[in-house]
Structure 1
Amino acid sequence: MSETTNGPTKEPTNELGVAMVGYAFMGAAHSQAWRTAPAFFDLPRRPRLAAICGRDADAAGAVADRFGWESVETDWRRLLERDDVDVIDICTPGDTHAEIAIAALEAGKHVLCEKPLANTVEEAEAMAEAAAAASARGVRAMVGFTYRRVPAVSLAQRIVASGRLGTIRHVRGQYLQDWLVDEDAPMSWRLDKSKAGSGALGDIGAHVIDMAQFVTGSAITTVSGLMETFVTSRPVAGERATLGGTGGSGERADVTVDDAAAFTARFDDGALGVFEATRFATGRKNALRLEVNGSLGSIAFDFEDMNVLELHDATLPAEEAGFRRILVTEADHPYVAAWWPPGHGLGYEHGFTHQVVDLVHHIAEGTDPAPSFADGLAVQRVLAAVEASSDAAGTIQKTGA
């Protein structure tokens, strides 16, 4: 990228100036990753937490103090003018992704954007086009499907790519949560289609779609889906509930996204897929599951036991048949060597650290990272096809008595 923007010439440095837009749940996860990565991994450039950006200066400032961000901005456009910023990390609701990412890439800033890439296919297409144009100028873009970087998931991908499972025939993917089971759980931006694009489908279904395509190396080509909203309104909490009018403590807002989605799929290699994403699976906290069945074996993963991959080798004699448990904590497993001794498991936050590690290496080496914005667009097209299929679903008419 250009060494100057609108200021004096930037002196060569081994640092990588990072600015993050957004500071809530994902902001905390990303902040920790940027801080932790250089402490455990040998990076070609050292991330520096140059700025954090949010509309609420006090709230953003509190996060900056907690994680060590050097400065606070309240307008993301200011970040694009700063010579000390090399990377824009986007952790905002989906309705802002396209505008921020495209502007950042055009300004010569590398971009890390949370998933799903956008709220619509059209936005995602524009983002992918901007990323392709930026790549030709040496500017990199990555979408944040962090579960790819769970060591057990990376190992699963290696096993499938090696051909050890033979011909892939079935893929089963689930992402099960229960944080909305309470009908009086408060309204949030994740339940507003104008902000989030979709509900369970895009928020968590996007992860299992990407994981399935990553692990199998195959693309979803056709889908048939159903979506449902079980609770159609939620209590409004916080500032809006006290603003008078028809609000007050009893105000409820309409939920405009899906609570659950399910769909069948066909992959380009002929495999069949069955997928489910819900925030109403009572008792399931973060059960991201993937099972792949092939002619020679199967693999199975569940994030609620994230340091384990199950492998069935169908070529073994019958008396040895069955799934065996691989504890993915050995130094030769993906990413693990930088961490703890065997058996000392990793957690949710480590995937974000591995994401930073890979992105920094790609920026330093001048290569395009994965998952790319094109990968994010591919997932966006699946999301849109599921939603269109659900909207068009036929109803069985009852006849007779």
Structure 2
Amino acid sequence: MTDPHKPEIGVALIGHAFMGAVHSQAWRTAPRVFDLPLAPRMSVVCGRDASSSQAAADKLGWESASSDWREVLERDDVDVVDICTPGHTHAEIAIAALEAGKHVLCEKPLANTIDEAERMTAAAEAAAARGVRSMVGFTYRRVPAIQLARQLVAEGRIGTIRHVRAQYLQDWLVDPEAPLSWRLDKKLAGSGALGDIGSHIVDLVQFISDERVTSVSGALRTFVTERPVQTASGGFTGTAGTERGPVTVDDAAVFLGDLSGGGLATFEATRFATGRKNAIRLEINGSRGSLSFDFEDLNVLHFLDLGDDSHVNGFRRIVVTEPEHPYVSAWWPPGHGLGYEHGFTHQVVDLVRAIHDGEDPTPTFGQALGVQRVLEAVETSASGDRAWTKVLEGSVALAR
């Protein structure tokens, strides 16, 4: 039920697998925890199959189901389109939704190609002139400790940034018999670890530092080149002699990056870090101090102030659960930690408030296009002799 005392904003969810379930939880929770100016109405969930879409609607709390996203865009009870489908579908759905006057939340990475991302950005900018808003789901920005890190950098607490180390470590593909999912098909996913999780750490580094990655030198690697093919029933072949298909994306990406403020960054994104489930690790070293964060301990930020007396100087452990910390006052008492799902709730909160206030929410499609250009530069460097490659507006060229 929506709040009868507030104007409604109808939401359509396109895609109802893992990420769709997470977004559904956020739409259900946000208006019950935060005081929003508009009341989200979970109008319809849409998938490729009518029966599975209806099952998702029943399970996840949506009022109705559809198997035709184009029909969804024609509905009067839909104001926001939340896109949680594979990357190769993002451009078509997002552009059509914006042209239909619907606000758009699109999962990352924005698209599979620069051309698609540029067309999406152009459509978003044209829509914004008509009051139609758009945002990209780089959700880790909305972890309170990440917000605090950005605040400390903006306040000059660590001084000039010299070094950044950014890692996103997972291990869900270590088993060579793990099935060949859509995420391992370049036509559907665009890239592998580079785009799927590397895009997150590129965005986080640029968000926290308020600087750009201006040139890169990188390498990509695919460790397992063939995997068992999934069946139509959702199972997969995994015994000797059964069908296997090619892996057409990278399993791991490593690259160096120049920052616009003169600092040097290192990035590592892999789905082969045995024992690491979802470790997003960031360390930023500046002329006056340092910051360190690990998503597997997401309520904590480590901060060093070089100005402290030498006999007590060192990293301090800040538990980011105080009411004055970003987003936290709406939740639990100090010390009662938040989890993975809370960032998605904060994403809904920020989007709804921006739509109500007539402002462009962040990250914008244009900012996500900037991340996409970094990824393209990494691919260009890795496909050659790993030469330093500039990240340019609109194109990529070898650094001089």
Q: List alignment gaps of at least 5 residues for structure 1.
A: 1-11, 396-401
Give matches, 1:1-400, under 5 Å.
14-239=7-232, 250-393=242-385
Secondary structure of 1:239 counterpart:
coil
Provide the TM-score with structure 2 as the length reference: 0.93
Shift of 1:238: 2.5
Aligned to 1:6: none
- Decide whether aligned partners of structure 1 residues 334 and 53 sit closer, same or farther in structure 2, where only a CA change above 3 A counts: same
Aligned-partner residue type, residue 350 of structure 1: H
- Decide whether aligned partners of structure 1 residues 311 and 38 sit closer, same or farther in structure 2, where only a CA change above 3 A counts: same
Shift of 1:79: 1.1
Whether the aligned pair in 1 keeps the contact of 2:54 and 2:66 (CA below 8 Å) is: no
Aligned-partner residue type, residue 123 of structure 2: A
Whether the aligned pair in 2 keeps the contact of 1:241 and 1:248 (CA below 8 Å) is: no
- Decide whether aligned partners of structure 1 residues 57 and 138 sit closer, same or farther in structure 2, where only a CA change above 3 A counts: same
Secondary structure of 1:256 counterpart:
coil
Q: Give deviations 1:345-386, integer Å, cap 9, x for gaps.
A: 000000000000000000000000000001110000000000
CA distance in 2, matches of 1:123, 1:223: 22
CA distance in 1, matches of 2:235, 2:349: 44
Aligned-partner residue type, residue 374 of structure 2: V
Secondary structure of 1:58 counterpart:
helix
Whether the aligned pair in 2 keeps the contact of 1:242 and 1:249 (CA below 8 Å) is: no
CA distance in 2, matches of 1:119, 1:260: 17
CA distance in 2, matches of 1:284, 1:209: 19
Q: List alignment gaps of at least 5 residues for structure 2.
A: 388-400
CA distance in 1, matches of 2:271, 2:235: 28
Q: Which runs of 4+ in 1 moved over 6 A?
A: 240-244
- Decide whether aligned partners of structure 1 residues 243 and 204 sit closer, same or farther in structure 2, where only a CA change above 3 A counts: closer
Shift of 1:68: 1.2
- Decide whether aligned partners of structure 1 residues 123 and 248 sit closer, same or farther in structure 2, where only a CA change above 3 A counts: farther
- Decide whether aligned partners of structure 1 residues 241 and 66 sit closer, same or farther in structure 2, where only a CA change above 3 A counts: closer
CA distance in 2, matches of 1:242, 1:18: 32
Q: Give deviations 1:319-347, integer Å, cap 9, x for gaps.
A: 11111100000000000000000000000
Shift of 1:239: 1.5
Shift of 1:250: 1.1
CA distance in 2, matches of 1:235, 1:60: 27
Provide the TM-score with structure 1 as the length reference: 0.93
Task: Give me the CA root mean square deviation.
Answer: 1.8
